[in-house]
Amino acid sequence: MQILKQLMKIGGWISVVIAIIGLTASFFLYRHAHNFVQSASHAQGTVTKMVESSGHNSGTVYCPVYSFKDSQGKQHEIYSSGGSYPPAYKVGDTVPVLYQSDKPDNAEIDSFDELWLFAAILAGFSIPPLVIGLVLLVVVFIIQRAKRQPPVTHAT
């Protein structure tokens, strides 16, 4: 029983630490996206082509290439780092674009997938280890507490 309790305690702490790391990374990704959105300028872009990208295990994904004009009227062509299968866009689609006025080549398509999805997925995958770890630690605490209490005797 002692070994099982130790394993539960170690597993609980490891799960909690992994969850905290994931949630912290998710929070920083969220803050980065939030700050970008708050300070970004808006433009309308047009998808000019779709580029196939092959991952090791993910198969083929399609990344949009889009162009837009910034507030100075300068044309920019952006190769999106995000892709999907099936393709989320087709050539000629109009897309809302967010860009930094001082760095218009760091533009993003204004969509949940492009801005927020990775932070949301990371947070979602971090919640189960947090819950499991906390449950394991609570069980260990309850077992330890039950061993410390004297047995209840009934008066006759």
Residue 108 lies in a domain: yes
Partners of 109 in the β-ladder: 97
How many structural domains comprise the chain? 1
User: Would 156 be classed as within a structural domain?
Assistant: no
| Consecutive 10-residue averages of pLDDT for the chain (156 residues) | 90 97 98 96 96 76 95 94 89 96 93 94 97 96 81 62
pTM (two decimals): 0.78
Residue 109: inside a domain:
yes
Return the pLDDT at 152.
Answer: 60
Dihedral angle over CA of 73, 74, 75, 80, nearest 10: -110
The residue to which tokens 């009227």 are assigned? 73
User: Do the domain assignments include residue 24?
Assistant: yes
Range of the domain at 78: 2-143
Residue 42 lies in a domain: yes
Walk across the sheet containing 59-69 and list its strands.
Answer: 75-79, 59-69, 41-55, 94-100, 103-109
